[in-house]
Amino acid sequence: MTSNRNAIVVPQGAERLLLHACCAPCSGAIVEWMLANGLRPTIFYFNPNIFPRSEYDIRKEESKRHAAMLGLPFVDGDYDHDRWLALMSGLEDEPERGLRCRRCFEMRLRAAALCARELGLSVFATTLASSRWKNLEQVNNAGRCAAESVGGTVFWEQNWRKHGLSDRRSQLIRQYGFYNQTYCGCEFSLAAAQAHAHHL
Every domain of the chain and the residues it spans:
13-199
Residue 3 banded pLDDT, cuts 50, 70, 90: very low
Residue 8 banded pLDDT, cuts 50, 70, 90: low
Residue 68 banded pLDDT, cuts 50, 70, 90: very high
Residue 22 pLDDT exceeds 90:
yes
Residue 13 banded pLDDT, cuts 50, 70, 90: confident
Per-residue model confidence as pLDDT tens digits over 77-124:
999 999 999 999 999 999 999 999 999 999 999 999 999 999 999 999
**How much is the average pLDDT of 164-188?**
93
Residue 72 pLDDT exceeds 80:
yes
The dihedral over CA atoms of 142, 148, 151, 156, expressed in degrees to the nearest 10, equals: 60
Burial class of residue 196, CB neighbours in 10 A (0-12, 13-18, 19+): exposed
Residue 26 pLDDT exceeds 50:
yes
Superfamily of domain 13-199: HUPs (3.40.50.620)
Residue 101, SS3?
helix
Q: What percent of the chain has pLDDT over 90?
A: 79
Residue 5 pLDDT exceeds 90:
no
Residue 166 pLDDT exceeds 70:
yes
Residue 177 banded pLDDT, cuts 50, 70, 90: very high
Residue 189 banded pLDDT, cuts 50, 70, 90: very high
Residue 1 banded pLDDT, cuts 50, 70, 90: very low
DSSP string, 109-127: HHHHHHHHHHTT--EEEEG
Among the ranges given (91-100, 141-150, 188-197), the one the predictor scored with the smallest mean pLDDT:
188-197
Q: What is the pLDDT of residue 2?
A: 42
CB 137 within 8 A of CB 32: no
Q: What is the pLDDT of residue 200?
A: 57
